[in-house]
Structure 1
Amino acid sequence: MKIKWAAIVIVGYLLFSAFMYYYLFVMSTGDLPDIYKGTSADPSTFLSEKERSLSGDFSKIKNLLFFLSTPLEWLIYFLIVLFGLSHRFEKWAKETARITFLQTSIYLFYLSVFTFAITFPLQYIGFHFSKVYNISAQTFSQWMKDEWIDFWIGYGLMMILVFVMYELMKKFKKRWWLAAWTLFVPFTIFLMYVQPIFIDPLYNDFYPLKDKQLEAKILSLADQADIPANHVYEVNMSKKTHALNAYVTGIGSNARIVLWDTTLNKLNKDEILFVMAHEMAHYVKKHIYIGIASYLILAFIGFWLIAKMMERLINRHGEKLNVTNIAQLRTLPLIFMMISMLSFVASPFSNVLSRFEEKQSDAYAIEMTGNKTAAISAFQKLAKEGLSEVKPPLLVKIFRYGHPSMAERIYTIETYPLKEMKEERKNK
């Protein structure tokens, strides 16, 4: 029976992978809709033929790796439980320590190292192609340093979450999911609060913006938007990437306005001011808090669904999987698998909300700066430097894009009725 189940899921994964390859490399022609042709959203107006070719090839590779890596997680977690490896991890952890917290930590370490090793080849392939296409500026050792930071931060946070969750499973056999979600809410908000101060600096160096004239202009925009900011931070991303970015992060008193140095180096001041106005709009429109609220609502539904699915799975197939109740540590890979699946299923909905917020922010930035030329050239440069996909295939947009495509954004700005709206306001 185990061999049969393993064969079914492996063949299913291979068939899915083959379909996604065919969809991305054969079915998706990359043709630009007629509405964008000849406008500033047309890649031929701001990208050379070579750049368009590189952008298309790089995007296909990135998208394929995404669609390969996500179901690969599900496959790995399922096989770990199916063939008893999770049971062995649990047994070794209990033989090593008597304290429950240490048992959980040891078990999670075995599981984390094993899954990291199995998924590492795909991660490395992604890094390799980002180097080939001149997006990444990192050496292999620098990239591995970030990977290890990711590993240990993830391990440390999961150690706390997993221990608490399994203790709740033992105490509240039926309603553990509700208790877990109740504690998950303040934990998530706390993490959002401390991330800009304690977590982000582990990856990069943050320092006040060196260009004080530009900082004054940005802070003036922030003042117009009622954003309580005294400094604009610069981060030295040029040692890691050639792509451009800026963002407003954190909540409460820890909110930060951050510019990548690559953005400072490659955009002019008007373009930077548009980008910063866009990022400030997320703060003004409360997108950060809307994002937290929607994430917590989805987490509530997710906890409930996982509890129901795990109960049904154990009742029907527990004997085959060597699982008698959900509070056994060996069930953790199944829970991780379900979390990943539910996140994937929910991603189209969260992406729709995110794209709506991005459109709001673009409109806000246009209204604030009144400079459509700078906005268009900023997006064109963002697409050029990051080899962004100007018009992605439908499935890619649905599952991957939290932003409108570059073609949509640039065309929307070009056709934005800025003068007409200003005249209407004057007449009123």
Structure 2
Amino acid sequence: MVRKMGVYAVLAYCLYGLFFYWYLFHLADPVLPFEYQGTSADPATFLNGRELELSEEYSKIRNLLFFLSTPLEWLIYFLILLFGLSKIFKRWADDSAKYKILQTPIYLFWLSLFSFVTTLPISYISYHFSKSYNISTQSFPSWMKDELIDFWVNYGTWLIIVPVLYWLMKKSKKRWWLYAWLLSIPFTLFMMFIQPVIIDPLYNDFYPLKNKELETKILALADRADIPADHVFEVNMAEKTNALNAYVTGIGSNARIVLWDTTLNKLNDDQILFIMAHEMAHYVEKHIYWGIAGYLLLSLFGLYLTYRLMNWACERWGNELKTKEVSDICSLPLFFMIISMLLFASSPLSNLVSRYQESRADQYAIEMTKNPDAAISSFQELSRISLSQVNPPLLVKIFRYSHPSMLERISRLEEYQIKHRND
């Protein structure tokens, strides 16, 4: 039965992968709707023939890798359970330390290491294609360093969560999910607070914007928006990527508006001011706090469903999965698998909310800057450099896009431009 379940799982993953390959490379129609052809949103108006070709190629590859990577995690965790590797990791932990307080960290290390090693190839393939299409400028040692930082940051985070989680499971078999959620509230806020000042600097250097003339213009925008900002932060990304980005991160006194140096190098001041106004909108409309509230609400339902599904799986398939008790640390791969599945299943909803917020931020930015030419050209340049599709396939948009498509964003700006042409 175990071997049969393993074969079925691998076969299901292969069929899933073939479906998305067929969908992305053969079924999805990249042709722009007729009414948008020749407009500013038409990539043929701002990309040359070679760039159009590369954009389609790279987007398809990147989207395929996205749809393959998350279910691969599920498959790996399922096979870890099915073939008894979780029990082996637990035995290694028990044999390595006589104190129980050390056994869970050791078990978690072996599980994390195995998952890291087995998913590393698809991460490398993604890096390789990004490098091949001149999106990434990062050297292999630098990329590997970031991967190892990811590993240790994730391990350290779960080292805090897992012992508490399984202690709750032992103490309250029916309510552990609720107590875990209650504890997750201060922990989430704490992680959001330290993210900009402790975690992000592990990957890159952050410093106040060097261009003081531009910073003065940005702070003037912030003052108009009643944002108490003293600095705009710049991060050195040019040694890793050619892509452009800016974002708002952190909460409270640690909230930051951050610009990648690639954005500073490749866009003019008017384009940057539009992007900064967009990021300020997230602060003004408190999107970060709404996002935290939404995440906590979803996590409440997610933990409850995880509780129900783990109990069902252990009762129904306990022998095959080599774990009959939810509170047994050997069930951790099952916990990870279910959480990952639920996150993937909820991504269409979270992306929908995010796209609404991003649309609001675009509207706020254009109303503040009143420069549609700069706004449109900034989005065109973003599409050109990142080789992103202006009009992505429906499933890609639903599961991947936390921002509206460039077709939607540029079209709305064009509508604003036409409406206010004579103002």
Matches of 2:330 and 2:7 in 1, distance apart? Answer: 22
Matches of 1:102 and 1:58 in 2, distance apart? Answer: 45
Match of 2:309? 309
Matches of 1:421 and 1:174 in 2, distance apart? Answer: 63
* 1:294-341 Cα deviation digits (max 9, x unpaired): 111111001000001111111112123222211111100011000110
- 2:366 maps to 1:341: no
Matches of 1:276 and 1:334 in 2, distance apart? Answer: 42
- 2:207 maps to 1:207: yes
Q: What runs of 5+ residues in structure 2 fail to find an aligned partner?
A: none
- Residue 384 of structure 2 aligns to which amino acid in structure 1? K
SS of the residue 1:257 aligns to: strand
* 1:81-136 Cα deviation digits (max 9, x unpaired): 01100011111111211333311111111011111111111000000000100000
Matches of 2:344 and 2:99 in 1, distance apart? Answer: 35
Matches of 1:383 and 1:377 in 2, distance apart? Answer: 10
Match of 1:319? 319
- Aligned positions of 1:357-368 closer than 5 A: 357-368=357-368
Matches of 2:344 and 2:325 in 1, distance apart? Answer: 26
- Residue 298 of structure 2 aligns to which amino acid in structure 1? L
- Aligned positions of 1:161-172 closer than 5 A: 161-172=161-172
- Residue 220 of structure 2 aligns to which amino acid in structure 1? S
Match of 1:281? 281
Match of 2:48? 48
- 2:6 maps to 1:6: yes
- 2:112 maps to 1:112: yes
1:69·1:122 contact (CA, 8 Å) conserved in 2?
yes
SS of the residue 1:237 aligns to: coil
Matches of 1:31 and 1:101 in 2, distance apart? Answer: 59
1:137·1:239 contact (CA, 8 Å) conserved in 2?
yes
Superposition deviation, residue 20 in structure 1: 0.5
Runs of 4 or more above 4 Å deviation: 417-423
Closer, same or farther in 2 for the Cα pair 1:217/1:200, shift >3 Å? Answer: same
- Aligned positions of 1:217-296 closer than 5 A: 217-296=217-296
- Residue 400 of structure 1 aligns to which amino acid in structure 2? R
TM-score by length of 2: 0.98
SS of the residue 1:138 aligns to: coil
Match of 1:86? 86
SS of the residue 1:258 aligns to: strand
Closer, same or farther in 2 for the Cα pair 1:219/1:305, shift >3 Å? Answer: same
* 1:227-280 Cα deviation digits (max 9, x unpaired): 121011111100100000111211111111111110001000000000000011
- Residue 33 of structure 2 aligns to which amino acid in structure 1? P
Closer, same or farther in 2 for the Cα pair 1:183/1:422, shift >3 Å? Answer: farther
Q: What value does the CA root-mean-square deviation take over the aligned residues?
A: 1.3
1:367·1:418 contact (CA, 8 Å) conserved in 2?
no
SS of the residue 2:147 aligns to: helix
Superposition deviation, residue 420 in structure 1: 5.1
SS of the residue 2:207 aligns to: strand
- Residue 56 of structure 1 aligns to which amino acid in structure 2? E
Superposition deviation, residue 29 in structure 1: 2.8
- Aligned positions of 1:184-195 closer than 5 A: 184-195=184-195
SS of the residue 1:259 aligns to: strand
Matches of 1:17 and 1:70 in 2, distance apart? Answer: 11
Superposition deviation, residue 418 in structure 1: 7.7
Q: What runs of 5+ residues in structure 1 fail to find an aligned partner?
A: 424-428
- Aligned positions of 1:362-377 closer than 5 A: 362-377=362-377
1:274·1:369 contact (CA, 8 Å) conserved in 2?
yes
Matches of 2:103 and 2:177 in 1, distance apart? Answer: 22
2:372·2:417 contact (CA, 8 Å) conserved in 1?
no
- Aligned positions of 1:385-396 closer than 5 A: 385-396=385-396
Superposition deviation, residue 421 in structure 1: 11
Matches of 2:270 and 2:147 in 1, distance apart? Answer: 35
The aligned length equals: 423
Match of 1:398? 398
Match of 2:138? 138
* 1:51-81 Cα deviation digits (max 9, x unpaired): 0110110000000001111111111100100
- Residue 214 of structure 1 aligns to which amino acid in structure 2? L
Percent same amino acid among aligned pairs? 61
